[in-house]
Amino acid sequence: MAPSTGKYLVETKNLTKHYGSLVAVSNLNLKVKTGTIFGILGPNGAGKTTTILMLLGLTEPTSGSARIAGYDPLREPLKVKALTGYLPDNVGFYQDMTGLENLYYTADLNGLSREIAKERIYTALERVGLMHAAERKVGEYSRGMRQRLGIADLLVKDPPLIIMDEPTLGIDPEGVKELLQLIKELAHEDKRTILLSSHLLHQVQAICDEVGIFVGGKMIASGTIEQLSSQLQAREKLQLELQVAPQDEALYRLCRSMEGVIEVATEGELIRLTCKKDVRPQLSKAIIEAGYSILHLHLRGFTLDDIYSRYFQKQEGNYDQNRTA
Amino acid sequence: MTKTGLLKIEALENVVQANKGLTAVIKKEISDHLSGKRFLILVLLVVVACLASLYIAATTIRSAGQGSDFVFLKLFTVAGSTLPFSFTAFVSFLGPLLGLMMGFDAINGERDRGTLSHVLSQPIFRDALINGKFIAGVIVLAMVIFGLGFLTGGLGLLVFGVPPTLEEVLRILVYLALSVVYISFWLALSLLFSILFRQTTTSALAGIALWLFFTLFAVFFVGMIANAIYPVTDSSSAQQVLNNARLELWLGRISPNALYDEATVTLLNPSVRALGFVMLDQLYGAIDAPLSFGQSVLLIWPHLVSLIAATLLCFAAAYYAFMRQEIRA
């Protein structure tokens, strides 16, 4: 019965959800370490929201189980919901109530006393910068303000685990920056665990400690971004960008003759080399010895975008099969 | 009285926490209802209707009903010639609308605004939300109905200067309580529709359709069915005619409106001694005197129980549907 204060705050075992013949989530084994930001990445319909709802106990899994700090969301929903703050995409507040009233309602639902509630609410509003709009009706709020009110709402509840569904959706770049900064603070300064889902890779890349890539209801890869990147590099060919003066036929011949180089292509000023391994030391030496000067040499690493699209492409075949199965 | 501090057992703590959630929901829903514009509009409508009926009753009673018994009750039941509606007729007609309006978007409205998942991710049991909404609705209804009843009674007191007897007060109180139960039935029904239908307009229309059916068409259909099963012609036997009428009465009682109207008449008109058919031999030896309060209540007891049962049935269906429903928008 006691909460397990293990290494993983969120753990699922073969979590599966079917909607009729559609497999929304299949055999998910997710582990989120306490005190980290975990990003669930994937295209729309990959099962991200379904997973989150199952973690909260708002949707019943078809099979498998989930544990939040050792509690089963189905059997002990109140424990789980007390430990977890949930920020849905397009968070819903009562339009004809003020921001302050909405937060007081949350505090009431959490059974906070009036004094504690007041203190937390004003601190939270201060922190998200909504003090000036506290007395205004939420119906008049912009989307970004509503999202910040959502964060204030989480702060009022003050849970050790925060789950956010597409937190940056539909917010302008400046707002996203502020929001991500807030999320980072929530994790690192307040020592909370954060699980967030997104299909906006760049934004998430900046703040996630670990990511899981979801496609068609399956988590096809997980780990830190570096791990995923090196996993890919081990299997994929490398891309080198090279700019050399003067650029002539002899140079191409030189490049092609290098051991490990598979393909040479030009892209405007740049020469793009596809190679089996990192040939930069040998290549630069050979080029300089041949009397050329190197203007630019760059090994293209794998950004999350690359990782994501690679994994996604790889899985697309299976993904379609799942849908029609 | 149990003090929360004394409760050590986890399960009991859960119950306490769940009740905190429930009271929070009730508090919020009540203030929502009372500050809402559409609620204001409908209550104003009902108030105006009741004042109009009071005025009619006042003029009618002065000219006609002088000196008769139970003058105070007549305030609620007498209809005039210019406005053929009494207080009771208005409540019977507009009450269901009040109930429907309070509940038709209870759940699907929250779903539309995205507040449902937000509220349910707080540490409350799922049923706290629907229980809270229903209880808050009943509380508000009770406030409105009793408020209206006392308003009408008080004004009547000013107009006539005839104080009500204890029996009249009791009858009015039971009548008002009955009205709350009746309107709660419609509230539970609209709550059910708000769960079954995803669109608020659909659930509102479904409620209004059912209301129209019961108030306008049910009588017509019931007559049709009765005539189909026991056709009555000029040459029909007395038994056939009786069967026809009896079937019509019993089928009619499926409608909560019919139950409510019968119960209202019995409560507010003590001279009603029986509901349904009375044979001549049964009348033999009966004394033509008003029933006592207790006897009247006894007469409508089945009606009251049926209305409460129908309300609870509706609410149970809503509860069941809600507990099993997917929360995602």
Q: Which residue has the tokens 């998200």?
A: A128
Under the banding of pLDDT at 50, 70 and 90, the label for residue B177 is: very high
Q: Which comes out higher in pLDDT, residue A25 or A89?
A: A25
Q: What was the pLDDT predicted at B319?
A: 93
Say yes or no: A39 and A78 in one domain. Answer: yes
Q: What was the pLDDT predicted at B26?
A: 92
Task: Tell me how far apart the alpha carbons of residues B138 and B133 are, in angstroms, rounded to a whole number.
Answer: 9
A250 in any annotated domain: yes
B119 in any annotated domain: yes
Q: What was the pLDDT predicted at A322?
A: 41
In percent, the amount of chain A with pLDDT more than 70 equals: 89
Whether the Cβ atoms of residue A181 and residue A24 lie closer than 8 Å to each other: no
Under the banding of pLDDT at 50, 70 and 90, the label for residue A325 is: very low
Q: What count of other Cβ atoms lies within 10 Å of the Cβ of residue B162?
A: 13
Q: What is the pLDDT of residues B212-249, one digit of tens each?
A: 999 888 888 888 888 888 888 888 888 888 888 888 88
Whether the Cβ atoms of residue B270 and residue B296 lie closer than 8 Å to each other: yes
Q: Does A2 touch chain B (CB under 8 A)?
A: no
Question: Mean pLDDT throughout A231-250?
Answer: 78
Question: Mean pLDDT throughout B147-158?
Answer: 87
Lowest mean pLDDT: which of A129-138, A182-191, B131-140, B302-311?
A: A182-191
A307 in any annotated domain: no
Q: Which of B32, B124, B328 sits opposite A109 (nearest CB)?
A: B124
DSSP code string of B38-50 = HHHHHHHHHHHHH
pLDDT above 90: residue B254: no
pLDDT above 70: residue A234: no
Q: What is the pLDDT of residues A184-208, one digit of tens each?
A: 888 888 889 999 998 877 777 778 8
- The CA distance from B288 to the nearest CA of chain A, in Å, is 58
A312 in any annotated domain: no
Question: Mean pLDDT throughout A229-240?
Answer: 72
A323 in any annotated domain: no
Q: What count of other Cβ atoms lies within 10 Å of the Cβ of residue A115?
A: 8
Question: Mean pLDDT throughout A235-250?
Answer: 80
Under the banding of pLDDT at 50, 70 and 90, the label for residue B195 is: very high
Under the banding of pLDDT at 50, 70 and 90, the label for residue A137 is: very high
DSSP assignment, residue B290? P
A308 in any annotated domain: no
Say yes or no: A86 and A172 in one domain. Answer: yes
Rounded alpha-carbon distances, angstroms, from residue A79 to A3, A50, A76, B15: 9, 20, 6, 12
Contact assignment for A109 to B328 by CB distance below 8 Å: no
B51 in any annotated domain: yes
Q: Which of B36, B116, B125 sits opposite A78 (nearest CB)?
A: B125
Question: Mean pLDDT throughout B299-306?
Answer: 91
Task: Tell me how far apart the alpha carbons of residues B189 and B214 are, in angstroms, rounded to a whole number.
Answer: 13
Question: Quick one: which H or E segment has residue A8?
Answer: strand A8-19
Q: Structural domain tally of chain B?
A: 1
Q: Which of residues 231-290 of B touch A (CB under 8 A)?
A: none
Number of H helices, E strands in chain B: 14, 0
B93 in any annotated domain: yes
* Beta-sheet pairing, A161-165 with A22-28: unpaired
Q: What is the pLDDT of residues B20-58, one digit of tens each?
A: 788 899 999 999 898 888 888 888 887 888 788 888 877
Q: Does B118 touch chain A (CB under 8 A)?
A: yes
Say yes or no: A111 and A164 in one domain. Answer: yes
Whether the Cβ atoms of residue B195 and residue B107 lie closer than 8 Å to each other: yes
Q: What was the pLDDT predicted at A301?
A: 66
Under the banding of pLDDT at 50, 70 and 90, the label for residue B206 is: very high
Say yes or no: A145 and A180 in one domain. Answer: yes
Question: Mean pLDDT throughout B176-186?
Answer: 95
Q: Which two tokens stand for residue B103?
A: 């509940």
Q: What was the pLDDT predicted at A303?
A: 64
Q: Which of B114, B117, B119 sits opposite A109 (nearest CB)?
A: B119
Locate the chain B residue with the closest alpha carbon to A108.
Answer: B24
Under the banding of pLDDT at 50, 70 and 90, the label for residue A315 is: low
Domain that holds residue A226: 8-230
Say yes or no: A226 and A284 in one domain. Answer: no
Here the CATH number for the domain that contains residue A95 is: 3.40.50.300
Between the CA atoms of B58, B64, B67 and B72, what dihedral angle is there, to the nearest 10 degrees? -30
Task: Tell me how far apart the alpha carbons of residues B26 and B132 are, in angstroms, rounded to a whole number.
Answer: 5
Q: Does B201 touch chain A (CB under 8 A)?
A: no
Contact assignment for B328 to A59 by CB distance below 8 Å: yes
Question: Mean pLDDT throughout A159-178?
Answer: 87
Whether the Cβ atoms of residue B200 and residue B100 lie closer than 8 Å to each other: no
Domain that holds residue B230: 4-324
Q: What was the pLDDT predicted at B14?
A: 65
Under the banding of pLDDT at 50, 70 and 90, the label for residue A319 is: very low
Question: Mean pLDDT throughout B198-206?
Answer: 93
Say yes or no: A197 and A271 in one domain. Answer: no
Give the pTM. Answer: 0.82
Q: How many A/B residue pairs have CB atoms within 8 Å?
A: 83
Q: Which of A1, A58, A96 sits opposite B121 (nearest CB)?
A: A58
Q: Which of residues 27-86 of A touch B (CB under 8 A)?
A: 49-50, 53, 56, 58-59, 77-79, 81-82, 84-86
Say yes or no: A217 and A242 in one domain. Answer: no
Say yes or no: A190 and A266 in one domain. Answer: no
Here the CATH number for the domain that contains residue A293 is: 3.30.70.100
**What mean pLDDT, rounded, does chain B reach?**
85
Q: Which of residues 94-153 of A touch B (CB under 8 A)?
A: 94-96, 105-106, 108-111, 153
Say yes or no: A251 and A220 in one domain. Answer: no
Which chain B residues are within 8 Å of A77, Cβ to Cβ?
A: 125-126
DSSP assignment, residue A129? T
Say yes or no: A88 and A195 in one domain. Answer: yes
Q: Which comes out higher in pLDDT, residue B160 or B222?
A: B222
Q: Which of residues 46-85 of B touch A (CB under 8 A)?
A: none
Locate the chain B residue with the closest alpha carbon to A159.
Answer: B122
Question: Mean pLDDT throughout A43-67?
Answer: 89
B52 in any annotated domain: yes
Q: Residues with Cβ < 8 Å from A97, sequence gap 6 or more? A: A105, A137, A138
Between the CA atoms of B135, B195, A108 and A86, what dihedral angle is there, to the nearest 10 degrees? 170
Q: What was the pLDDT predicted at B164?
A: 86
In percent, the amount of chain B with pLDDT more than 90 equals: 32
Under the banding of pLDDT at 50, 70 and 90, the label for residue A283 is: confident
- The CA distance from A165 to the nearest CA of chain B, in Å, is 12
Question: Mean pLDDT throughout A295-300?
Answer: 82
pLDDT above 50: residue A75: yes
Contact assignment for B10 to A1 by CB distance below 8 Å: yes
- Domain end: A183, A213, A230, which one? A230
Q: Does A93 touch chain B (CB under 8 A)?
A: yes
B329 in any annotated domain: no
Say yes or no: A256 and A208 in one domain. Answer: no
**What mean pLDDT, rounded, does chain A reach?**
84
Which chain B residues are within 8 Å of A53, Cβ to Cβ?
A: 117, 327-328
pLDDT above 50: residue A47: yes
- The CA distance from A108 to the nearest CA of chain B, in Å, is 6
Contact assignment for B123 to A111 by CB distance below 8 Å: yes
> If 0-12 CB within 10 Å is exposed, 13-18 middle and 19+ buried, where does residue A286 land?
middle
Whether the Cβ atoms of residue A273 and residue A239 lie closer than 8 Å to each other: yes
Q: Does A6 touch chain B (CB under 8 A)?
A: no
Q: What was the pLDDT predicted at A116?
A: 93
Q: Structural domain tally of chain A?
A: 2
Question: Mean pLDDT throughout B125-133?
Answer: 91
Q: What was the pLDDT predicted at A2?
A: 45
Rounded alpha-carbon distances, angstroms, from residue B136 to A31, B30, B183, B184, B307: 42, 5, 13, 11, 19
Question: Mean pLDDT throughout A212-227?
Answer: 84
DSSP code string of B111-169 = HHHTHHHHHHTSSS-HHHHHHHHHHHHHHHHHHHHHHHHHHHHHHHHHHH--PPPHHHH
DSSP assignment, residue B214? I
Say yes or no: A32 and A153 in one domain. Answer: yes
In percent, the amount of chain B with pLDDT more than 70 equals: 90
DSSP code string of A205-226 = HHH-SEEEEEETTEEEEEE-HH
Which chain A residues are within 8 Å of B36, Cβ to Cβ?
A: 96
A314 in any annotated domain: no
Q: What was the pLDDT predicted at A154?
A: 92
A185 in any annotated domain: yes
Q: Which comes out higher in pLDDT, residue B215 or B71?
A: B215
Q: What was the pLDDT predicted at B1?
A: 47
Q: What was the pLDDT predicted at A230?
A: 75
Rounded alpha-carbon distances, angstroms, from residue A140 to A129, A295, B31: 16, 54, 20
B68 in any annotated domain: yes
Question: Mean pLDDT throughout A19-43?
Answer: 88
A315 in any annotated domain: no
Q: Which two tokens stand for residue B258?
A: 């019919």
